[in-house]
Structure 1
Amino acid sequence: MNDDEARYEAVRARDARFDGVFFTCVTSTGIYCRPSCPATTPKRANVRFHRSAAAAQADGFRACRRCRPDAVPGSAEWNVRADAVGRAMLLIADGVVDREGVTGLAARLGYSERQLRRQLVDEVGAGPVALARAQRAHAARTLLQTTTLDIAAVAFAAGFSSVRQFNDTVRQVYDRTPSRLRAAGPGPGTGTTEGIALRLAHRGPFDGDQVFDFLARRAVPGIEEVVGAPGDRRYRRTLRLPHGHGVAEVGEAGGPGWLPARLTLLDPRDLTAAVQRVRRLLDLDADPFAVRERLTADPVLGAAVAARPGVRSPGTTDPDELALRAVLGQQVTVAAARNLTAALVAAGGTLLPAPDGGLTHLFPSAAEIADAPLGGLRMPDARRTALRTLAGALAGGDLVLDPGTDREEAEQRLLALRGIGPWTAGYIRMRALADPDVLLAGDAGARHGATRLGAPGASSGQRWRPWRSYALHHLWLAASATPRAAVALHDTRPDHVAEAEPVPAASPGG
C-alpha cells in the first residue's frame, strides 16, 4: 500500500484490512478517517494519505467522529519489520515517551534523538513527540468518556504536562472542548462494575476459541483466571505497570472488529501501557488477511488455515514474566508448569490490597526471584539455577525484553545463559517479543501436527515466512486432534538441561 491510487481503491471499497495501515485525509472537510469509514467516498482530488494519525493531525486534519480513526488496530508491519522504526513505534505505543521522554526512547534504541526523529518522519510522517501526542489525545478521550475523573486529572493521567496543552490538543484533534467530548461519550460506569470500559479493536477475523483455550490452559491461579462458558468467556489477570498495579478483563464475545475489555488501574496514567500490553497478549494488531494469503497457498497448511482464518499468536503482558515461566515449564506438562508457577506466585508474589475475584497476587519481579531461595519449588536443581540466572540477567539489565529490544541480540543473550536452549529462546522470542516469524526448533507438537496434516516431519518452514509463528499455532491445533502421550523435548546444548515446555496430547503448544 505504498501507492496512492491503490490506497484510494481501498477507500472506495471501504476495505477494513487497511485500517491502521494508513489514514485518509479529506481536504474539503479537514477530516481524517480510517479507510473503512462508512461516510460517502470523497473525490480523489480531495484526498491525501498519511501513514499515521499523528501525521494527519500535524497536517491540520481532525479525527472523524463517525469512524474514530484514533481507535484503529495498530499496524502489523512494526512486528514484522522489527527494525529501529518498528521498535520505536512499539515503544511509543507502550508510553515510553511519556515516561522517559524522547531522550529515553532514543537511548533504548541506541540512536541519537536527531537520527531517530529523521527516521520516523521519513517512514510515518511524524516524529516521536507528535506520535506520543496523538496517543495522549486518544487516552484523554477514553478517560473523558469512561471515567468520572475531573478534567484536570484526565489531562495529567493522559500524559499532558499542562491543562492548557491538553485543552489545545483535544480541540485540535476532535474539534470539541474536553467538556463537549465527555458529553458525547457513553458515560462513566457503562457496564457492570468499576473500571475503564473499552472496546479493543482488531483487524479481520478473531478466533476466540483458539486464543481463549490457549490462555485458559496456561492460566496461573492467583494472577490469571478464565471465567464463563466457551463462547462467552472472560480472561482476567493482574498487571504490573509503570505507576502501580492493575487488573485487566477481556471478553471473548465482542462485536465485529472488537472485544469488550475493562481495566481497573491504581493509577490512570497507566492506561496507555495497560491497553498496549493487553493488545500484545491477544495479538490484536495482527494482519490475518496477510497471514491467510501466504499460508492458504501452502499444500500442508492451506486447508487448515482456510478453515480457521482468525488464529492468533498470543504474546504476553509482561515479557520478563513470560521468560521466567518458560523456564519454569521446562520438561514438564502445561498443567505441571501451571502448578509450579502458582507455587512461586503464592510464595513470592505481591499480594493485592484486596482480592479481585480469583486474582490475589502480582507475579514476582525478576529481582525478587533472583534473590529468593526457591528451595520450596519442586524442580531439578539445574532448572532452579537456570531460573535464578535468567532472573538475575533480567534484573541487572544484562537482558532486556521490552518491545524495543533487538530480537536477534536478545536471542543470542538468552542462548548464552546456562540452561536455556533453542526451544526456550525461540518460545520467548515468539511470545515475549511478539515475533510473528518463529518456528520452534525440534518442537514435538509441530511434528505431530504436520503428520496429522499429511506431511510427516515438519520442515524449517521457510515457505511460511514471515508468518511462521502462525503456522506453528496451526500445527499445534492440528496436533491437538491426535491423541498421544505427553512428550518431553530436550535441550541440545552441551549442558543438557531440559528446555522445552512439553504438553499433553490434548494441549500442544508449549
Structure 2
Amino acid sequence: MDEDTRYEAVRSRDGRFDGEFFFAVSTTGIYCRPSCPAVTPKRRNVRFFATAAAAQGSGFRACRRCRPDAVPGSAEWNARADVVGRAMRLIGDGVVDREGVAGLAGRLGYSARQVQRQLTAELGAGPVALARAQRSHTARVLLQTTELPVAQVAFAAGFASVRQFNDTIRTVYASTPSELRAAAPGARRTATPSAGVPLRLAYRGAYQSSAVFDVLAAEAVPGVEEVGGAPGRRVYRRTLRLPYGTGIVAVDERPRGWLDARLHLTDLRDLTTAVGRLRRLLDLDADPYAVDERLGADPRLAPLVAARPGLRSPGAADPEELAVRALVGTEEAERLVRRYGKALDAPCGSLTHLFPEAAALAQADGPVATLAAALADGDLRLDPGADRDDAQAALLALPGMDARTVAVIRTRALGDPDVAPPDLDLPDSWRPWRSYALQHLRTAGELEHR
C-alpha cells in the first residue's frame, strides 16, 4: 500500500487494516489504528508506521480511544518465511525478553547487528524497541485486569526496573501506571493472580469460531485438553508448559469481535508468551479479507468461502507437542501423557498433566523416540523462528516420518499458510493460501480431517 491508499483506509475507518499499519498525527503527538473513530486528521499532519514500536520510537503516544496496542498482529509476520517474519514471531514469543538480542540473532543464524539493521530498515524499529512495545502492552493488560502491586506488574511484564517501567508507561500512554489502572473498569479486574488474567483476544474480520472449536474438540488429548459445553457456547481449556512456569487457559467459543479468555499462570512473566501461543493456536492474526478474496474467486471454493467467511487454519499452542501428536495420533498421545507427562501440582477438573517434554519422550520406543531426541538435541527446531524448509528437510530425514505427516506439522506447528499434502494436486490459483483452502474442504466434508 502507498501512503495515499493508507490515508483512504484511515478516512474510511477501515478495520481491515488494524494491525497492518499505524498512523500518527503530528499536531497531537498521538498514534492510532486505522479504524480509530476520532475525527480524521488532515493528510499533511499524518505519518504512517509499520509497527507501534516505530510510532513510539518517533515520540508518539498511544491513543486512549482506539487503543492501537490491542489490535491483532499483522498477518504478514506469520505468513512470511524470511528473517524479518521469523524475527517478529520470535519477538512475539518473548525471546528478546528472555535471551536478549544476541539470543534472537543466534536463533536466526545472523549477527545481532544484521538483525538490528534488517528490522530497522523495514519496520522502523529494532528488536529492543519492538520488545519494549510488547512489554508496554503486557503491562497495561496487567494493570487494568489485576490488582497486582505496580512493582510486581513491572517485573511480570519483563521490565528490568520499576523506574524503567514508569518511564516507558509515561512515554507510551502519557499516563502514570496508577492513572492507567484507574482508567479501566474495576469490574474487569481480578483480586489476585490466582483468579487468572482475563483477556480479550482480538481478531480482524469474520471469525468462524465453531469450525476452530470443532477441530480442537476432535483432537483434544485427555488430561491436557478439554472442550466442554454445548455447540456455540463451548469452552476450550488446556495446560501450557511455558518458559518460567506452567499455565491453564480457558477460551470461550462465542465471538464478540474478540474471544474471551482467562489465563492462570504460575509465573506472570509468561503472560506475553502464553498469549502469543494462544493466538497462533486459534489463528487470530490471520487476514481473512486477503484469504477470502483469493479463494472466493475459485469456482470450486467460492460457495465454501461464502458459507464460512473468515475460516481459520488452526495452529499449535506447542509446536513440539503438535509434531508428536501428528506422528502418533490422539489415542497414542493420551498414553504418552499418562506415562511420560508431568502431573500438575493441583489438577483443574479433568486437566491433570502437561504434555511430555521432548527429553522425556526420547525414552519411549520407535519413531516417537527418534523425533523427540531430535527435538531435545536441537537437531530439529520447530519454534516460531524456525526455517520452515530446514525443518521440513530434518523431519523427512527421520525414520517413520512420511510426507503427509510432515505437511501437517508444517501447517500446524510452523504456521505455514500455503501447504498442500503430497498426494493432492492443488491449483496454483489457491496460492499462497492452500492451507486455508484445505481447511475449507475439510470443514465442508470433502476431505478427511487430519
> Which residue is 1:362 aligned to?
354
Q: Rg larger in 1 or in 2?
A: 1
Q: Residues of 2 paired with 1:237 and 1:320: CA distance?
A: 16
Q: Residues of 1 paired with 2:376 and 2:51: CA distance?
A: 35
> Which residue is 2:291 aligned to?
291
The question of whether the paired residues in 1 share the 8 Å contact of 2:193 and 2:264 is answered with: no
Letter in 2 for 1:508: E
> Which residue is 1:509 aligned to?
449
CA offsets, 1:358-402, max 9 Å, x none?
111000001001024xxxxxxxxxxx4111100000011100100
Matched, 1:146 2:145: yes
> Which residue is 1:453 aligned to?
none
Identity over aligned residues, as a percent?
65
Q: Residues of 1 paired with 2:308 and 2:255: CA distance?
A: 18
CA offsets, 1:204-260, max 9 Å, x none?
10001100001001111100001111111111000000000000111111312x110
Aligned residues: 448
Instruction: Output aligned runs, 1:33-432, within 5 Å.
Output: 33-187=32-186, 188-189=189-190, 194-256=195-257, 258-329=258-329, 338-372=330-364, 384-432=365-413
Q: Secondary structure at the match of 2:353?
A: strand
Q: CA deviation at 1:461?
A: 2.7
The question of whether the paired residues in 2 share the 8 Å contact of 1:87 and 1:405 is answered with: yes
TM-score by length of 2: 0.97
Q: Residues of 1 paired with 2:444 and 2:234: CA distance?
A: 23
Q: Residues of 2 paired with 1:79 and 1:287: CA distance?
A: 10
The question of whether the paired residues in 2 share the 8 Å contact of 1:220 and 1:342 is answered with: yes
Q: Residues of 1 paired with 2:19 and 2:173: CA distance?
A: 18
Letter in 1 for 2:408: Y
The question of whether the paired residues in 2 share the 8 Å contact of 1:78 and 1:89 is answered with: yes
Mean CA deviation greater in 433-442 or 164-173? 433-442
Q: Secondary structure at the match of 2:278?
A: helix
> Which residue is 2:13 aligned to?
14
Letter in 2 for 1:120: L
Q: Residues of 2 paired with 1:398 and 1:186: CA distance?
A: 48
The question of whether the paired residues in 2 share the 8 Å contact of 1:190 and 1:197 is answered with: no
Q: CA deviation at 1:21?
A: 0.6
Q: Secondary structure at the match of 2:448?
A: coil
> Which residue is 2:418 aligned to?
437
Letter in 2 for 1:243: Y
Q: CA deviation at 1:28?
A: 1.2
Q: Secondary structure at the match of 2:206?
A: coil
> What stretches of structure 1 move > 3 A for 4+ residues in a row?
190-193
Computed over aligned residues only, the root mean square deviation of the Cα atoms, in angstroms, reads 1.4
Q: CA deviation at 1:339?
A: 2.5
TM-score by length of 1: 0.86
Q: CA deviation at 1:316?
A: 0.5
Q: CA deviation at 1:428?
A: 0.3
Q: Unaligned regions of 5+ residues in structure 2, if any?
A: none
Q: Residues of 1 paired with 2:193 and 2:228: CA distance?
A: 16
Q: Residues of 2 paired with 1:509 and 1:310: CA distance?
A: 19
The question of whether the paired residues in 1 share the 8 Å contact of 2:146 and 2:193 is answered with: no
> Which residue is 1:470 aligned to?
436
Q: Residues of 1 paired with 2:194 and 2:93: CA distance?
A: 26
The question of whether the paired residues in 1 share the 8 Å contact of 2:212 and 2:282 is answered with: yes
Q: Secondary structure at the match of 2:48?
A: strand
> Which residue is 1:23 aligned to?
22
Q: Residues of 2 paired with 1:190 and 1:508: CA distance?
A: 46
